[in-house]
Structure 1
Amino acid sequence: MIRNYLRIALRNLRKSPGYSFINIFGLASGLACFILILIFVQHEISYDIFHKNADQIYRVIQRRPGAGGAKYWAATSPALAGSLRQEFPEVAVATAVFPTSNPLLSLGEKHFTEEGILADNHFFDVFTYSFLQGNVGKALKDPNSMVLTASLAHKIFGNKNPMGQTVMYQNKYPHIVTGVIEDVPETSHLSFSYILPAVSDQYYQDCISREPWYNNGLYTYVALAKGANVQQIEKGMRKYIDRNLADWRPEDRMTFLFQPLKDIHLKSQHLQTFTFEKSGNYKFMYLFLAIGFIVLMLACANYTNLAVARSIRRAQEVGIRKVAGAWRWQLIGQFLGESLIMAFLALISAVVMAHLILPSFSRLVERPIRMEYLTNPTLLPGLLLLALLVGLISGSYPAFIMSRLKPVQVLKGTQTKLANRFTLQRILTVGQYAVSIALLVGSFIIYKQMQLVQHQQLGYNRDHVLTIKVNDETLSQQYATIREDLLRDPHVTAMSYSQYLPTTVMTMQSMSRWEGSGDQLLPSNTSSVDYDFLDVYGIQLVAGRGFSREFGTDTLGAPIALINESAVKALGWTPKQAIGKEFNYSDGRGKRSIVGVVKDFHFNSIHQSLGPLVLTLNRESGGYISAKVRPEDLAGTIARFEDAVKRISPYPFEYEFLDDNFNKLYKNDLRLGEIFTSFTLLAVLIASLGLFGLAAYSTQQRMKEIGIRKVLGASVPGIIRLLSKDYLKLVLIGFVIAAPLAWYVMNRWLEDFVYRIDMSWWIFALAGAFALMIALLTVIFQSLKAAWMNPVKTLKTE
């Protein structure tokens, strides 16, 4: 019997190739989309689960109060890890980690720029990495030790044994290789190629010795004892801080929170500092999963719709089989079997499509996503289960409806209008176009918002600004010589040195009015700059003056500062009142005098509101050289910069235009727009395919009616209107449903932007018109074919 059902199903597929293609292609497209998104989601939620006892590992983050609302920092004090180990028995072990600042490794004349981390000797007690060589307990004991990953060890030493070999760090600090570990998995939020002992770093030593609770540049991780209560530890930390920072006002004291290791990758967007990797976003992940599910449901709806429309042709088959003695469950089994065959054929096509699309999709989401059937044991069973569910969902309604037909009525012809009674067809068509229109609205709004971002007035000039990352202390020390040399080039109009670029000022300190030491501390971003920073970036002064070589008091490291309008307002002054005022600053250098107030400019993404900013006159060992250049002969200008830098520094020459750096701030949003648009077009295509098939079957059922109308004088436009109006009404109903839904969802998305577009009515009208046009083009093809057919051919059998 099963063989007979299979033969009937395959025969029906061959008899209706158009119907079969539309169904298989529609299901395959939905399945391919859903498969890619499932693999992406599986990759995102797998971060850091490879560590032993990953459920017991947490990162400690801090909440800092202040004017303008509390801030959450991923970076913490270097004193925190030791305090946790000593004061809290629930903490089995704690470790401090931070990224290397100037990642240059050297072996003789060979230089390697690799990202590494510095960690204390408890690092391997918290995290699980497999040692290929060396002793895990002794690897980071010596301040001059070093642990390499296998790939970096091979890159530096080739086939030579790296153990005991000496590698120079920053071209001046020797480190001996004491261990080699397996490469860090791709699904690790900590990304590094080597580990150095934290005690070997001068910054770490300075933080420990000089007011460690004020300095926050390290990341603290803990492994809790089994059964430990996180909330109780957090309460204990509050009491500990109250005891040890008694000289701080209670409202100024930080609060420590424990973030689960498995949440770090997807749930760190609210943190002010996070530098190990570009983290994921759980909101995007859920959004993609929802869109993938919607597209798959659209494909299932297509199958159901077409199967219901096709039911008239198969009504007599059902009647004859029932007269011949077929049971209802046998008919249900046959129709579900056909649906499952269709689903598994679609799955095969979907897997092929997914493999073809995967490289492009992987680049789009910036993840190394692969379909590995051997290393991913859930993939193949998951695909088979997915096809089974799709087949059952798609075929259930037609199977149960067709099996209920009464043979007497069918064979007498009293149910020839059966398909017209199925309101599910209309519901599914409305639903398909409602979803398609909502996705179209979303795509238009994302595009408009990104246009606003790209052309937003930022308060600084980002055109034709060449930026060079400074990793070498020697390059920093000889900057004045380089500047003097390069400014002789007529293509270079201005140069500056700064700790950060104006797109990403990351460091935060606390400030308060000097004459009112009891005032609340004001968290503020800060960057050290030189005399020419305002000129290069065209940042305007509101009051006072900028840093200048013409003032003898303006020397590097001088206790003077520029602050922005937001800082002036938060401190309770006007810009003119602020000039000459002094404020207390938590950078360890005491009070500072304000010499100028700059106009507010966006020193971070416009996802964030403008806040207080302090610019100090100094030159850090690491930072950026910025140069305003002319657009002519850019290649020659870049080559001259490269030559000037390479004469001084062994570091690889790294440059970037500020425009490119700016675009990185919104890469996730741009990526969302691209993916959203791709899914939208796919959804519209699937909906159109379904409508095309539905219109074809509906038109075929009305061929004789059309023939009679033509004989009675109906025109071609009249017949097109007759056949199209019902479907266009469904699209309009879909628009009415989609508009408020799209408005609500996109309004929530726009809430993440400080500056955002207005959702004008024309965006919704444009999406509706586009969907209506697609539907009209889809239906009109079938309508024209029917309207142009010779009525003699359709009526001669009557």
Structure 2
Amino acid sequence: MIRNYFRIALRNLKKSLGYSFINILGLASGLACFILILIFVQHELSYDVFHKNADQLYRVIQRRPGSNGVKYWAATSPALAGNITQQFPEVQVATSVFPTFNPLLSLDDKHFAEEGILADDHFFTVFTFPFLQGNSATALKDPNSIVLTASLARKIFGAKKPIGQTLMYQDKYPHIVTGIIADVPETSHLTFSYILPASSDPYYQDCVSKEPWYNNGLYTYVVLAKGVDAKQVEKGMRRYIDKNLADWRPEDRMTFLFQPLKDIHLKSQHLATFAFEKSGNDKYVYLFLAIGFIVLLLACANYTNLAVARSIRRAQEVGIRKVAGAWRWQLIGQFLGESLIMTFLALILAIAMVHFALPSFSQLMERPIRMDYLANPLLLPGLLVLTLLVSLISGSYPALLMSRLKPVQVLKGKQVGLTSRFTLQRILTVGQYAVSITLLVGSFIIYKQMQFVQHQQLGYNREHVLTIKVNDKNVSQQYAAIREELLRNPHVVAMSYSQSLPTTVMTMQSMSRWEGSGDHLLPTNTTSIDYDFLNVYGIQLVAGRGFSRQFGADTLGAPTALINESAVKALGWTSKEAIGKEFDYSDGRGRRTIIGVVKDFHFNSIHQALGPLVLTLNRDPSGYIAAKIRPENLQGTVALFENAIKRVTPYPFEYQFLDDNFNKLYKSDLRLGEMFASFTLLAVFIASLGLFGLAAYSTQQRMKEIGIRKVLGATVPGIVGLLSKDYIKLVFIGFIIAVPLAWYIMNCWLQDFAYRVDIAWWIFALAGIFTLTIALLTVIFQSLKAAWMNPVKTLKAE
């Protein structure tokens, strides 16, 4: 019997190739979309689960008061790891980790610019990165040691034995290779090619030797004992801070929170301050997953509509089978079997689509996403289960509907149960168009917001600004000569250096008015700049002056500063009143005098509101060199900079235009927009296929009515209008459902931006008109086909 069902299903597929193609294409599109998203979601949820003690491992983050509310920092002080293990027995072990600055490894005359980390000797007790050579217990004990990943060891040493070999770090610090570990998995939030002992780093030593609670540049990880509640340890730490930082005002003291290791990748958006890993976004992951389910359900609804439309032609077949003795469960099995075959064929096409789309999808999501059947043992079983579920969801309604037909009525030409105006088909079509319009509105609003971001007045110039990362102190020491040489070229307009770029000023300090009143500390962002910073970036002065080589106070190192309008406002002054005022600053240099007030500019993404900013003078070039250059011959100008800098450093030449750096701030939002646009087109396509099926079904039902109307003188436009008005109603109902849904979803998304566009009424109107146009084009094809048919053919059966 099963073989017979299979043979009948194939015969029906061949008999209606057009129907079969449309149905398989619709299902395949939905399945491909869902599989792609599922692979991406699985990848995002698998971060850091490979560590043996992942369930007990936490990153300690700090919660601090900020100028615009509470801020969360991923970076902590060097005092934390040692104190937390001494004071809290619930903490089994703790380690401090931080990224290498100006990384460069050298072997003889070969140089390798690789990203690494520095860590204390507890690192391999906390994290279980497997050792291939060496001893994990002693690999980081010696300050002059270094641990390499397997791929970096091969890259540097080739076939030579790496253990015991000496590498130069930053071209001057020798380190002996004491261990080789397996390459860091792609699903690790910590990414590195080598590990150096933290004790060898002057920055770490400096932080530990000074007041450690005031320096925040390290990342602290702890392993809690099994069964310990992290919240209880947090409460104990709060009491410890209150006791040991009693001289701090209570509202200025930090508190510490424990973030589970498995949450770091997806739930660290609010920890962007000082986080050095490339984090994901749990909101976007679950949003994509929800959209994947929706698109798949749209495809199933499309199949159901088409199956019901086609079932009218098979009503007599059902009647004959029942007369011949077929049981209802046999008919259900037959129709579900046909659905399973159709879904399996769609799955094969979907897998081909996925393999074709994966390279572009991986590039868009910036993830190494692969469909690896061997590495992912759940993939094939999962696809088979998905096929069964989709075939059941899409085929159950047609199977149940057709199997309950009464043979007497069917064989007399009556089709009871298939003619209700308020059938599931119409409900599904309304749902399809409600989803399509919602996605269209979302795409329009995301595009509008991204256009707003691109054209927002930032307060600084970002066009034709070349930025170069300074990795080597040789460049800093010879900056004056390099600057003088390059400014002689007519294509170089101005040059500057600064600790940070104006797009990402991350460093935090605290300031307070110097009036002996013990005013509340004001947290501020800060960066050090040179004399030409304001000129290169086109940042305006509101009052006072900028740093200048013409003023002895600046050149002799007087403690002066520039502040922005937000800082002036927070301190209760006007811009003019602020000039000459003094304030206390927590950068270790004490009191400073304000010599100028700059106009507010966005020194972070516009997800965040503008806050106080302090600019200090840096006479030791570090961080970034920036040059305002002319747009003509850009490549030649870049080559000019490369030649000048490569003469004084072995480090690779790293450059970027400020425009590109700015766009990086909104990559995830741009990615969301592209994904939304793709899903929207797919949803509209699938909804149109579903409407095509419903139109075919309705038209088939009304063929005799159309024939009678034509005999009585009805025109083709009149018949087309008659058949189309029902679908206009369906689209309109979908529009009514979509408007509040789309407004709510997009209003929630826009809340993540401190500066955002308004949701205009015309966006909904445009989405509705676009969807209605596509629907009418779909329906008119079937309507014209029916209207042009000779009425004699439709009425001769009567």
Structure 2 residue 186 is the aligned partner of structure 1 residue 186 = yes
Match of 1:494 in 2: 494
**CA distance, structure 2, for counterparts of residue 411 and residue 783 of structure 1:** 27
Q: Structure 1 residues 704-713 or 440-449, which shifts more? A: 704-713
The separation in 1 between residues aligned to 2:619 and 2:400, in whole angstroms, is 77
Are residue 544 (structure 1) and residue 544 (structure 2) matched?
A: yes
TM-score under structure 1 length normalisation: 0.98
Q: 1:662 to 1:535 in 2, by over 3 A?
A: same
Output one character per residue of 1:750-772: Cα deviation in whole Å (capped at 9) or x when no partner: 11111111111111000000000
Q: Is the 8 A contact 1:311 1:419 kept in 2?
A: no
- Residues 658-701 of structure 1: per-residue CA shift (max 9 Å, x gap): 01110000010001000110011000011111112222233234
Give the letter aligned to residue 461 of structure 2: N
Deviation per CA, 1:235-287, whole angstroms, max 9, x where unpaired?
11111111211111111110000000000000000014244332100000011
1:629-668 C-alpha deviation (Å, 9 max, x unpaired): 1111111111111111011111111111101110000010
- How does the TM-score come out when normalised to structure 2? 0.98
| Distance in 1 separating the partners of 2:207 and 2:124 | 22
- Provide the residue aligned with 1:29 in structure 2: 29
Specify the alignment match of 2:170 in structure 1: 170
Taking the aligned partners of 1:329 and 1:148, their CA distance within structure 2 comes to 64
Alpha-carbon separation, structure 1, partners of 2:129 and 2:555: 48
* Distance in 1 of aligned mates of 2:6 and 2:782: 31
Moved more, 783-792 or 718-727: 783-792
SS in 2 for 1:226: coil
CA distance in 1, matches of 2:144, 2:323: 90
Contact 2:564/2:613 (<8 A) preserved: yes
Give, as a single letter, the amino acid of the residue that structure 1 aligns with 2:640.
Answer: R
User: Per the alignment, do residues 13 and 32 of structure 1 end up closer, same or farther by CA in structure 2, a change over 3 Å counting?
Assistant: same
Decide whether aligned partners of structure 1 residues 788 and 513 sit closer, same or farther in structure 2, where only a CA change above 3 A counts: same
Q: Does 1:199 align with 2:199?
A: yes
Task: Give the structure 1 partner of residue 472 of structure 2.
Answer: 472
Q: CA deviation at 1:621?
A: 5.8
1:154 corresponds to: 154
2:773: which partner in 1?
773
Residue 12 of structure 2 corresponds to: 12
Aligned-partner SS, 2:279 = coil
Deviation at 1:715, TM superposition (A): 1.8
Shift of 1:736: 0.9
Counterpart of 1:755 in structure 2 is 755
Tell me if structure 2 keeps the 8 A contact 1:364–1:671: yes
Look up the SS of the partner of 2:270 in the other structure.
coil
Equivalences for 1:138-537 in 2 at 5 Å? 138-415=138-415, 418-421=418-421, 423-516=423-516, 518-537=518-537
Residues of 1 paired with 2:516 and 2:411: CA distance? 96
**Taking every aligned residue pair, what percent have the same amino acid on both sides?**
83
**Whole-Å Cα distance in 1 between the matches of residues 455 and 499 of structure 2?**
26
User: Matches of 1:620 and 1:289 in 2, distance apart?
Assistant: 49
The Cα shift of 1:714 comes to 2.0
Amino acid at match of 1:370: R
Quote the residue 2:789 is aligned against: 789
CA offsets 1:25-54 (integer angstroms, 9 cap, x no match)? 111110000000000000000000001110
Cα deviation, residue 320, structure 1: 2.0
Instruction: Render the CA deviation track for 1:585-607: whole Å, top value 9, x for unaligned.
Output: 11111111111111110000000
Rounded to whole Å, the distance in 2 between the matches of 1:58 and 1:194 is 22
| Contact kept in structure 1, 2:68 and 2:609, CA below 8 Å | no
Give, as a single letter, the amino acid of the residue that structure 2 aligns with 1:375. Answer: A
Check the 8 A contact 2:61/2:72 in 1, yes or no: yes
Q: CA deviation at 1:369?
A: 0.4
Q: Does 1:578 align with 2:572?
A: no
CA distance in 2 between counterparts of 1:708 and 1:421 reads 21
Gaps of 5+ in 2: none
Deviation at 1:788, TM superposition (A): 2.7
Q: 1:528·1:620 contact (CA, 8 Å) conserved in 2? A: no
- Alignment partner of 1:595: what SS? strand
Q: How far apart, in 2, do the equivalents of 1:643 and 1:415 lie?
A: 83
Q: Which runs of 4+ in 1 moved over 6 A?
A: none
1:667 matches 2:667? yes
Question: Gaps (5+ residues) in structure 1?
Answer: none
How far the C-alpha of 1:323 sits from its partner, in A, is 2.0
Aligned length: 798
* Structure 2 CA distance for partners of 1:304 and 1:557, relative to 1, 3 Å: farther
Q: Which amino acid aligns with 2:17?
A: P
For 1:65, what is the secondary structure of its paired residue? strand
Q: How many Å separate the matches in 2 of 1:519 and 1:729?
A: 65
Distance 1:739 1:422, change over 3 A: closer
Whether the 8 Å CA contact 1:126–1:222 is kept in 2: the answer is yes
Q: Indicate if the aligned counterparts of 2:459 and 2:539 stay in contact, CA closer than 8 A.
A: yes
In structure 2, relative to structure 1, the CA distance for the partners of 1:785 and 1:145 (3 Å cut) is same
Question: Any idea what SS the aligned residue of 1:310 has?
Answer: helix
Whether the 8 Å CA contact 2:57–2:223 is kept in 1: the answer is yes
Whether 2:119 is the aligned partner of 1:110: answer no
Q: Output the aligned Cα RMSD.
A: 1.4
The range that moved more, 660-669 or 574-583, is 574-583
Q: After the TM superposition, which of the residue ranges 176-185 and 421-430 deviates more from structure 2?
A: 421-430
Tell me, yes or no, if the aligned pair for 2:465 and 2:627 is still in contact at 8 Å. Answer: yes
Any conservation in 2 of the 1:556–1:619 contact (CA below 8 Å)?
A: no
Task: State the secondary structure of the residue aligned to 2:159.
Answer: coil
SS for the counterpart of 2:139 is coil
Give the partner amino acid of 2:382: G
Deviations 1:720-773 (A, max 9, x none): 112211112111111111111101100000111111111111110000000001
- C-alpha displacement at 1:523, in angstroms? 1.1
